[in-house]
Structure 1
Amino acid sequence: MPDQPHFLQSEKQNLHVERAEEDARVEPLQLGQRVREIRLSQNLTLEEASKLTGLARSTLSKIENEQISPTFSAVTKLVNGLGIDIPQLFTQPKRDRAGGGRRDITRFGEGRPHPTPTYEHELLSTALTRKKMIPYRTAVRARSFDEYKEWVRHDGEEFLYVLEGQVMLYTEFYEPILLGVGDSAYYDCEMGHALVSVGEEDAIVLWVTA
């Protein structure tokens, strides 16, 4: 979510800001939206989140779209599977004030590991919450497009940069393309996409998802 805008120090504008903050505090919690935000912040597809939580993909989708309310059992599975606590799930994220000076350093090899059947993700800058983009370093395990049961797709846009090896980038509306060290791609994440290593060694890529 965008930060709050700068404002002039006049009584009228201060009153307006105070009222806006009061409105934000009483805004009802949209649990489905919170589940979706947390899932995307961990760069998980619905399929991956389903495997981690033990909830059916269709059930997760209905929860995120506010079509059903999760039972206590489902909430427990969400909390355990996503590695969060219950207050984090039920508390509305605080809005950051403008003009911050946030910074986070991730030393080589010290990112948070997040393995999947086709990728070995290393999530970067994990100490910062509510980032506007999600950076991660990935070893691409897959050697064939057939290893994907379905297209990978999620909200936002994505930047891909090849650090080591070669990869074949598959996208739903374009022909597959071979990318080598120093090559990059930028694409819409709602378009189906998948990455495959070309060669004996796993290719290493840098991904940034916004």
Structure 2
Amino acid sequence: MDTTHTQSSASSTADLGRRVRAARVAQDLTIEHASRVCGVSRSTLSKIENGLMSPTFDVLQKIVAGLKIDLGELFGSTPKLDSGGRRALTRRGAGKPHAYRGYSMELLATELAHKAMLPFLVRITAHSIDAFDDWGRHEGEEFIYVISGSVCLHTELYTPTHLEAGDSLYFDSRTGHYAVSTSKEDAVVLWMSTGETVPGALEAAEAAEAAKAIATAPATSARPARSRRKLPPG
């Protein structure tokens, strides 16, 4: 067993939890309120904040969208806003580590805020579908390019797709999905997501929420306006 890797994963999980809590507290949100705005159960959010759970990418996206922060902030980066001509260089092994069930990843280019793409270098540690108890799904679109090993991508809509080194696949992240390594060694892939949401999805969700609030608001009794029409002379 690689105890160094295990200790590193535990440390990064604890650090991430502290940053989630700091972001919540900085906005004066109770854990109950944060749970509602993020769409994550209170129990799950509490476990993450206390370093007892390593969140999936789906949950990370919900947290950053709900707290309106950048993903890089949860991994110790201070993302820079767009100032024109921006770029980000990530040296080999210098990405921000994050591991959860079935995957061990490095987040790349975390120093840039509001990226259109979220790039990851992912080692797929799952070699069986038994590693997953549910589909992964979230807003956005994804691209996978297999660097080494072989992969089988399982989705809700299609038969399992087998990918070898050099193969790639682009798909809708809202479709339930997970990937397993079918090679003897862990497969390594470049995995990219379009970010927090598909363009326009957040605005649509906010508009729908506003419409729902209006529809469920209690009716108020207003006094009928008096007519300004003059009566004809008698």
TM-score w.r.t. the length of structure 1 is 0.58
Change in Cα spacing, 1:198 to 1:65, as seen in structure 2 (3 Å) is closer
Within the alignment, does 1:133 sit opposite 2:153 as a pair? no
**Equivalent residue runs for 1:1-210 within 5 Å:** 62-65=36-39, 78=49, 100-210=84-194
Q: Highest CA radius of gyration, 1 or 2?
A: 2
How many Å separate the matches in 2 of 1:155 and 1:123? 18
Q: Which runs of 5+ in 1 are unaligned?
A: 1-47, 83-88
Quick one: higher RCO (CA 8 Å, sep 6+), 1 or 2? 1
Greater percentage in strand: 1
User: In the TM superposition, what is the alpha-carbon distance from 1:194 to its structure 2 partner?
Assistant: 0.5
Q: Secondary structure at the match of 2:160?
A: strand
User: In the TM superposition, what is the alpha-carbon distance from 1:177 to its structure 2 partner?
Assistant: 1.2
Q: Is the 8 A contact 2:96 2:107 kept in 1?
A: yes
User: In the TM superposition, what is the alpha-carbon distance from 1:200 to its structure 2 partner?
Assistant: 1.7
User: In the TM superposition, what is the alpha-carbon distance from 1:186 to its structure 2 partner?
Assistant: 0.4
How many Å separate the matches in 2 of 1:173 and 1:112? 32
How many Å separate the matches in 1 of 2:114 and 2:188? 26
How many Å separate the matches in 2 of 1:90 and 1:146? 32
Structure 2 residue aligned with 1:30: none
Change in Cα spacing, 1:193 to 1:92, as seen in structure 2 (3 Å) is closer
How many Å separate the matches in 1 of 2:188 and 2:157? 24
Q: Secondary structure at the match of 1:174?
A: coil
Q: Cα RMSD (Å) of the superposition?
A: 4.0
Between the aligned residues of both structures, percent identity stands at 38
Q: Is the 8 A contact 2:34 2:67 kept in 1?
A: no
How many Å separate the matches in 1 of 2:180 and 2:90? 26
User: In the TM superposition, what is the alpha-carbon distance from 1:63 to its structure 2 partner?
Assistant: 2.9
Q: Secondary structure at the match of 2:127?
A: coil
**Equivalent residue letter for 1:114:** H
Deviation readout 1:99-156 (Å, 9 max, x if unpaired):
7111110011111110112001111001111111100000000011121010001110
Number of residues of Structure 1 aligned to a counterpart in Structure 2: 147
How many Å separate the matches in 2 of 1:140 and 1:178? 14
Structure 1 residue aligned with 2:208: none
Q: Is the 8 A contact 2:37 2:67 kept in 1?
A: no
Change in Cα spacing, 1:177 to 1:102, as seen in structure 2 (3 Å) is same
User: In the TM superposition, what is the alpha-carbon distance from 1:59 to its structure 2 partner?
Assistant: 8.6
How many Å separate the matches in 1 of 2:46 and 2:185? 40
**Equivalent residue letter for 2:188:** I
Q: Is the 8 A contact 2:152 2:180 kept in 1?
A: yes
**Equivalent residue letter for 1:127:** E
**Equivalent residue letter for 2:36:** K
